[in-house]
Structure 1
Amino acid sequence: MNIESKRIIRVLIVLCTLFVGLIVYLSYFETFQASKVVTNSYNKRQWLNEEYVLRGTITDRNGKALAYSEKVDDRQVRQYKYGRLYSHVIGYSSKEYGKAGLEASYNSYLLNISDNNPLLEIRDKITGPREKGNNLRLTIIHELQSYAEQQLRGKKGAIVLMDPKSGEIFAMISKPDFNPATLREDWEEIVEDKDSPLLNRGAMGLYTPGSVFKVITAAAALQKTDIDQTYTCEGSINIEGYVLRDYQETAHGDVDLEEALAESCNVAFSQMGIQIGEGALREEAERYMFNREIPFALMTKTSQFPNRGMMSKPELGATAIGQGKILTTPLNMALTASAIANEGRMVKPILVKEIISPEGRTVRTSSTETLSRVCTPMVAEKLTDMMIKAVETGTGKNARIRNVKVAGKTGTAENETGMAHAWFIGFAPADNPKVAVAVVLENAGSTGGKSAAPIAREMMHAALNRLK
């Protein structure tokens, strides 16, 4: 073989390698990246569809229109009937600022286009575009959404209210909020606001959980046979030089697990966490979706259990009471309460109940799916009894509802601002759960029992009256 032939062969090898590499890249892009690019809120190609497709209507579960589009002088105008009320659920659809919320995640359905199916794209080019998009029917109950907004008005934080058995979200409110109807006029003020009104705190707000995490520590303790059954609380404990205190250094005396949860005893739970051990406590937290992505119709942040591998005893004691570097979202804690209410089965949260075609045909229906089996029904029953006592005689008294048995847990979470977050999670009726709730008041500077529990009570009470 002469030198010229060898050069030709090398060139052919290089060209074939480049060709194969291009095919591999295009295959990878089409399989893993194309949908992300197509659905990106800043992809201008999306707006070509909106020139001839009337965007679908979004309604609550009972058919009340929440967002819809109208033709005004040959242009499409998106109407947000309730302004701020659904700013973090429905979001916005704006040529200038992209899309957010359900307007982003369900954009293809709302425009009745098939971004990921080339054959359907070709069909649309041949037959012409469709004139109307699909409609979304949410699981939200408008009256409960409105009531939740009233409860949080003037505060920072979030409320998530849901059916613990089906996973359907009845209300999701985040404060502060914004008005999608006046987005263009308000944009600069919104993005410069240090309180981050664009952030959906319900699904993406990461907070120190404080004592609401103790239900997970308690769940781990119930499954261990080699830990203490009673603890002596003198109001504080010294763990290798780190002093951990109870609220106002209240000495609870000798307490068992049920009494420790009811009184939210830090001393008992810190010792409990050390005995459980880092590995077992992490495994328990991960059953409750910590360090795992929660599938949801909206963007979410992942709750974080520290993954150090070798926590010191002070770090482990602090983590067991929901302090330290542990972080969670209100959605995750609503799911935690729901899992206990649902005999240890955590279900996927549902926000969109149905997708309905312009002709009224059901395109897709959401069904209940199990995310995680967090514990056995027996453990869930014991946790429920503990949470009932926390409401009846412990720190959650302000969540009591007349003639209804309520299970709950308060939380007062210290953080870097020096102003504690106030938490409450719970469900009712405890003996036949129909509603679960998570409430967080950001930097409230007060206890969960004082500030968050009354709001949770109002939301559960309103939901039970509505669901009769």
Structure 2
Amino acid sequence: MKKIERRAVLCCLLAALLALGTGLFVFRWFSSGGRWASAPFNRHLYNNAGQLAAGTVLDRDGDVLTTVREDGTRTYYDNATVRKATLHAVGDPQGNIGTGALSAFADRLTGFDLVNGAFGAKQGNRLYLTIDARYNYEAYEALGGRAGAVAVYNYKTGEILCMVSAPSYDPLNIPADIESNDRYKGAYLNRVLSSTFTPGSVFKTVTLAAAIEEIPDLDSRTWTCGGSVTIGEETITCSGVHGEQHIGEALANSCNVAFAEMAAELGASTLKKYTEKAGLTDRYSVDGILTAAGSFGFDTATEGQTGWAGVGQHRDLVNPCALMVYMGAIANGGKAAVPRIVDKTVNSLGLSTPIRWTEKTGTLISPSTAERMTELMAEAAETAYGTKRFPNMELCAKSGTAEVGEGQAPHAWFTGFLRNEDAPYAFVVLVENGGGGSSVAGTVAGKVLNIMVNGY
């Protein structure tokens, strides 16, 4: 009798395990079935060259960026520069660029669904991206062959209108030495989404937000810059001798002395809190593509190192996309739309995906602080950067020149947003080892924004 009972218990356990395994499989099928079916080993969906043999990728205006010929091979836009400029959004034929639509959204392109699987893959779907090929073209040209990243998005809707990463290459004419030539170093990497960089002075926007809320007499206080200041065991150097200045002037001058002193007064724990609140240590999901998380060394920073961290140096590393979203939150009263790259999918019957809701971030900055930041950034933009490069734009911006090592030119940054009612754009420009933030990255930003706002 006991033997029968033991066997019954064992059978029940096995049945429970079977039910659990079946439930797990069904769950994974619903959550990951599209990725399974669209994996490169599925020869029904990929040709002999390993290229996705179904689906068309278009920009927001309906310009075809990549599609499949009748013989099953993949082709791209007929302009080589556009192909390079949109490569990291569209993807390469072999799937080396994980953020490209051909890899990240293969299930949508093949028309996979849970009922029919990839039955309609021969026709494929039309996947419309939010980017504009023209904006990408202008951004890529403005970089002028230099490594870097350019991104612009609508902080109210989340649509990424421009996303360029360089170096790039022509997917129809892949360089034979791409793996060995330093010219193409990091070409498979989308620098907007998947990289982090030393931010330099663009990080002062975080230090400023903390100072506005944590230093009661901030607006009545002045700082005196003699070109450098010693904090603890560190000597923080500045780009100039700015003399006595109030907070608005310190921001316009991008004064390291003033902001390092603010950072030291605030302390590492406070800077850490505001950095995390700003979303700079988070990973955003851009239609399922996870961005890189920023990292900082606040936990072990000395007083002097905290001063360096407050001006965007020390061990600060920031993801360009996260910085762009933070700019959008300042512009939008504390919260911004989460960025997205997919506009819609249209199947072979002409049916489009349902209208999607705009996803918002949490509160990255308090509304009152965002309002004050906007005023200060607008004043700084007019004082430090002028209006000639940014006609018809209500610009709020911050430049950055990030030191990245002895013997290397600094990274050039320019980030901010527009307050134009019909152009609610936040942007980020990074030119690796480019030199001056305002002169180099600011010029790139001006060219791209001018096309977007003024059409020329």
Q: Which residue of structure 1 aligns with residue 164 of structure 2?
A: 173
Q: Which residue of structure 2 aligns with residue 154 of structure 1?
A: 145
1:435 aligns with 2:431: no
- Which shifted more, 401-410 or 171-180? 401-410
Q: Which residue of structure 1 aligns with residue 42 of structure 2?
A: 46
Unaligned 5+ segments in structure 1 are none
- Which shifted more, 315-324 or 86-95? 86-95
Q: Which residue of structure 1 aligns with residue 179 of structure 2?
A: 191
1:137 aligns with 2:128: yes
Unaligned 5+ segments in structure 2 are none
1:211–1:410 CA contact under 8 A, matched in 2: yes
Deviation at 1:105, TM superposition (A): 1.5
Cα displacement string for residues 412-446 of structure 1 (whole angstroms, at most 9, x for unaligned residues): 111136321000012234687532221101012x2
Q: Cα 1:28–1:254, aligned 2, differ >3 Å: closer, same or farther?
A: farther
Distance, in Å, in 2 between the alignment partners of 1:278 and 1:29 is 46
Letter in 1 for 2:243: G
Secondary structure, aligned partner of 1:147: helix
Distance, in Å, in 1 between the alignment partners of 2:235 and 2:354 is 55
Secondary structure, aligned partner of 1:258: helix
Letter in 1 for 2:380: A
Letter in 1 for 2:448: M
Q: Please show how residues 342-421 of structure 1 align to structure 2 within 5 Å.
A: 342-394=332-384, 396-397=385-386, 400-416=389-405, 418-421=408-411
Distance, in Å, in 2 between the alignment partners of 1:43 and 1:130 is 13
Deviation at 1:13, TM superposition (A): 6.2
Q: Cα 1:454–1:59, aligned 2, differ >3 Å: closer, same or farther?
A: same
Q: Which residue of structure 1 aligns with residue 64 of structure 2?
A: 65
2:152–2:428 CA contact under 8 A, matched in 1: yes
Cα displacement string for residues 374-407 of structure 1 (whole angstroms, at most 9, x for unaligned residues): 223332222122112222222x348742453321
Residues matched between the structures, number: 443
Secondary structure, aligned partner of 2:343: strand
Q: Which residue of structure 1 aligns with residue 269 of structure 2?
A: 279
Q: Which residue of structure 1 aligns with residue 414 of structure 2?
A: 424
Distance, in Å, in 2 between the alignment partners of 1:131 and 1:429 is 45
Deviation at 1:62, TM superposition (A): 1.2
Letter in 2 for 1:108: D
1:285–1:305 CA contact under 8 A, matched in 2: no
Q: Please show how residues 31-110 of structure 1 align to structure 2 within 5 Å.
A: 31=27, 35=31, 39=35, 43-50=39-46, 55-72=54-71, 76-81=72-77, 82-94=82-94, 101-110=100-109
Distance, in Å, in 1 between the alignment partners of 2:263 and 2:319 is 21
Q: TM-score, normalised by structure 1?
A: 0.85
Deviation at 1:101, TM superposition (A): 0.9
Q: Which residue of structure 2 aligns with residue 314 of structure 1?
A: 304
Deviation at 1:330, TM superposition (A): 1.7
- Which shifted more, 355-364 or 199-208? 355-364
Q: Please show how residues 198-213 of structure 1 align to structure 2 within 5 Å.
A: 198-213=188-203
Aligned CA-pair RMSD: 3.0
Letter in 2 for 1:46: N
Distance, in Å, in 2 between the alignment partners of 1:196 and 1:457 is 26
1:178–1:198 CA contact under 8 A, matched in 2: no
Cα displacement string for residues 139-171 of structure 1 (whole angstroms, at most 9, x for unaligned residues): 112221111111013111010012222221111
Distance, in Å, in 1 between the alignment partners of 2:306 and 2:10 is 56
Identity level (%): 27
Secondary structure, aligned partner of 2:451: helix
Q: Cα 1:431–1:78, aligned 2, differ >3 Å: closer, same or farther?
A: closer
Cα displacement string for residues 65-93 of structure 1 (whole angstroms, at most 9, x for unaligned residues): 11111212xxx111111432211010024
Q: TM-score, normalised by structure 2?
A: 0.87
